Amino acid sequence: MRSSPAGLRARIDDSPMSRSQWSAIAVCVLLNVLDGFDVLVMSFTAASVSAEWKLSGSELGVLLSAGLVGMALGSLFLAPLADRVGRRALILVCLVLSSSGMLLSALSQSAVQLGLLRVLTGIGIGGILAGSNVIAAEYANRRWRGLAVSLNSTGYAVGATVGGVIAVALQNSSGWRSVFAFGGVATGLLVAVVLWRLPESLDFLLTRRSPHALGRLNALLTAMKQPPLESMPEPDRPATAPAPRLRQILSPAQRRNTLLTWAGFFTVMFGFYFVTSWTPKLLVEAGMSASQGITGGVLLNLGGIFGTTLLGLLAARFALKNVLFGYTLATAALLTVFVPATSVYGLVFVLGALIGLFVNGCVAGLYALTPSVYRVEVRATGVGWGIGIGRVGAIVSPLVAGRLLDAGWEPGQLFLLVAVVLVAGGLAVRAFRITSDAPAPAARENG
């Protein structure tokens, strides 16, 4: 038995997955379902909220983006705390923040109150996503790591689809406030689920080396059907006074990967939120009816459920970096022919489902790949900042599209622009360098 963290990591990578490992991943998927519901809850209630408070278009736009602003803040400034206090502990704190924000949103009496509470909810979600994706990556073995983390994005697509249906039903029967109340209660219930079934990160226990770390580590190893350790493994690197974690991910050794990660997240999230936010309206602009535009938007989410799962299965056989690059190219190619295909009724819906399949897979692939480019000491910080920069792309994307439409751009030109942006993101991903002590993202990633 090798007596180093890297040796333990290698042993887990080469061992079959246990029930406790899949259980931890399942909880992470549930946490991402919450993200999918939270992103859509404001969209589905926007008309009712606007009617009650007589909001202008710009005021409603601020409400729609407030949650994304909060997610960016949570990813940038809250998620790095997971490297200090633990992934599980931060997730629990963030669940309380999100649940409180959703429940208080149901009681809000003005657009200003609701907007501030949307930011609070988003801050919690941003912290949850960074921690859950890191835990999913760390508990999966090498073969199934790509599937484990891509299933998190499948959870997002499920939350966006099923949660949207629930939101419509609740709103029709009990008003828009009931939708937020439902989200707050569901989020609160996840606190109990995390306490019950989500363990702390193995790599965090190995790195922080608290007085009770050995006992907690052996309990987790026993549940994973791994032999316990007699003592804590010796660190792979000598202990030194750590620099601030943001400075570490921007150090000369990590700067290249960090900038590429930021570029990848920004461009992929830019493309993803353009597609999910604007496709229904742009289909109408291209000559389709309003109901046909909505159908196209629904198919994007349905395609995403299959796309993220497919990416995980492919990552079990091929290098995830190559699979993700292929996904970005496929999405770009489909976007270039999407608008010209609107004249063929059935074809445009098939293309819409395929775009949803690949663009959701791009997001899933980034979540799966990013933990492998950072050392464990700064992994949550690196992933959190990547997601945070991605949220900036998500916020900018609808604004840019709106400005370009006002400037006279045609829908086909907008889709072509996003295709170019996604290709740039794919090239950034191809340039990633995998860190030797990080969990390898796929079976052949280092080969």
Structure tokens that stand for 221 in this block = 């190893």
Contact residues for 51 (Cβ-Cβ < 8 A; gap 6+): none
The pLDDT-based confidence of 148 (bands split at 50, 70, 90) is confident
Q: Cβ distance 90 to 75 under 8 Å? A: no
Ordered structural domains, the chain, with CATH: 5-205+245-430 (1.20.1250.20)
Look at the alpha carbons of 184, 189, 190, 192 in this order and tell me if their dihedral is positive or negative: positive
Q: What is the DSSP letter of 373?
A: G
Residue 137 confidence (pLDDT) above 50: yes
- Between the ranges 159-168, 330-339, 404-413, where is the mean pLDDT highest? 330-339
Q: Residue 129 and residue 82: Cα distance in Å, rounded? A: 11
Look at the alpha carbons of 346, 349, 353, 355 in this order and tell me if their dihedral is positive or negative: positive
Task: Convert the pLDDT of each residue in 262-321 to its tens digit.
Answer: 999 999 999 988 887 667 666 766 677 656 665 676 677 778 778 777 887 887 788 888
Contact residues for 135 (Cβ-Cβ < 8 A; gap 6+): 24, 28, 87, 88, 91, 198, 201
Contact residues for 233 (Cβ-Cβ < 8 A; gap 6+): 2, 3, 4, 5, 7, 8, 206
Cα distances from 213 to residues 194, 206, 209, 238, 338, in angstroms, run 19, 7, 6, 19, 53
Residue 116: what pLDDT?
Answer: 96
Task: Convert the pLDDT of each residue in 246-255 to its tens digit.
Answer: 778 888 877 8
Residue 285: what pLDDT?
Answer: 67
Q: Residue 249 and residue 132: Cα distance in Å, rounded? A: 20
Q: What is the DSSP string of 174-224?
A: H-HHHHHHHHHHHHHHHHHHHHHH-PPPHHHHHHH--TTHHHHHHHHHHHT
Q: Cβ distance 325 to 426 under 8 Å? A: yes
